[in-house]
Amino acid sequence: MEDTSTAIFITIQKFYYPLLCIMGIPANLVTFYLIFVRRCGMSDTAVVYLSCLAVVDSLYLVWVILVDLTLTFWLLQPFWHSYPWCGILAFLQYGALYSSSWVVVVFTIERYVAFSSTAAVRHLSHARIPKMTCVGVVTLSHLASVPMAWINMVTPVNFTVDGANVTLPRCRYRDETYSTALVWITSVLSGGVPIVLLIIFNYLIGYHLGRASRLFTREQQRVMSGRTTRGLVRRSILLLGTVSVAFVALSLPRFITYCMLRTVYNTPAFDRNDYRLPINVAGDLANMLQNLNSTTNFLLYCMVSRRFRLELLKLLRCRRPAGEHSSVLSNTTLKVFTLPQPSNLPLAGSGVMVLTNLQHNQD
């Protein structure tokens, strides 16, 4: 029974990861085209960050899921079980992982700063700033991943293939103190810290959105072109909460199980491929969830933005892009403007950042 369960679980993974590649890579490329070229009513800042996220997620799918996991389940001897590919692949994988996590974090922090500071809105509204930020995040992520090229080493391993004993090179984890230290640091910086920061700043953004509906005076509301209703604010908070919860729900289990594998079960005698041990099953299920995170953005955009869905349908029908009309939702969640302050209108409080200029155009 245990052997049957193990075979079923391995078969599920054998088809799960190729399916993620088949669905995820084209979905991210389509997402990049729709956001970067057709823009989908998003601000310049959002276009840059979300386009960058689609690119780094695609790289993660290629290096981690396609080249590593898919080939592992389908080939006896993938090419990266040799020098120098063993180290190069680890560098590329961790670089993509860092980039994917921190692009989301930086974009979330940027949105919070825009909500909190009037001067920051004018400074951050230029597309040059997010472009430089994305380039910096990706560059630093790959620089931080350079030491990871030495956490593995190529060693000969004996196998039984068709009843014959063969010795093949294998890219295996280097059981050294510095390797364990690097893995711990990487796990915290790519998983623990981004999860905590996303929870904190999404909460703060939701808090500002909630206050915005209560800080307008009647005179200020008449000046604003558009509308800010409690229902719209609640919807924006719900969307931000959904994105945050989805990221945490898909990333946190892997962070926990990986820490357990590198502490409690980090011994030379431990067999990571023994699925009779619950921790191995839990670890692989957590990996499946985290890898799913790189393919869900397309679905999230489809659910969140009606304009994104319309542009997708136009693309599938080979129609030209729609005009540049923004939606109430996209302006609420992605565009931040300052409140006009005519001299004849008293302000409810100084230094308050609010959402205005919400257009009537429906997405």
Domains of the chain by start residue, with CATH? 2-334 (1.20.1070.10)
For the ranges 180-184, 212-216, 308-312, the lowest mean pLDDT is seen at 212-216
For range 241-252, the mean pLDDT: 77
Better-scored residue on pLDDT, 208 or 342:
208
Tokens representing residue 280 in the block: 């191995």
Q: What is the mean pLDDT of the chain?
A: 77
Q: Which amino acid is at 192?
A: G
What is the model's pTM? 0.79
Predicted local distance difference test score (pLDDT) of residue 232:
43
| Residue 300 pLDDT exceeds 90 | no
Predicted local distance difference test score (pLDDT) of residue 336:
37
Tokens representing residue 73 in the block: 């389940």
For range 35-40, the mean pLDDT: 83
Better-scored residue on pLDDT, 21 or 331:
21
| Residue 330 pLDDT exceeds 70 | no
| Residue 210 pLDDT exceeds 90 | no
3-state secondary structure the chain: CHHHHHHHHHHHHHHHHHHHHHHHHHHHHHHHHHHHHHCCCCCHHHHHHHHHHHHHHHHHHHHHHHHHHHHHHHCCCCCCCCCCHHHHHHHHHHHHHHHHHHHHHHHHHHHHHHHHCHHHHHHHCCCHHHHHHHHHHHHHHHHHCHHHHHCEEEEEEEEEECCEEEEEEEEEECCCHHHHHHHHHHHHHHHHHHHHHHHHHHHHHHHHHHHHHHHCCHHHHHHCCCCCCHHHHHHHHHHHHHHHHHHHHHHHHHHHHHHHHCCCCCCCCCCCCCCCCHHHHHHHHHHHHHHHHHHCHHHHHHHHCHHHHHHHHHHHCCCCCCCCCCCHHHHHHHCCCCCCCCCCCCCCCCCCCCCCCCCCCCC
Predicted local distance difference test score (pLDDT) of residue 334:
40
Predicted local distance difference test score (pLDDT) of residue 229:
43
| Residue 272 pLDDT exceeds 90 | no
Predicted local distance difference test score (pLDDT) of residue 59:
94
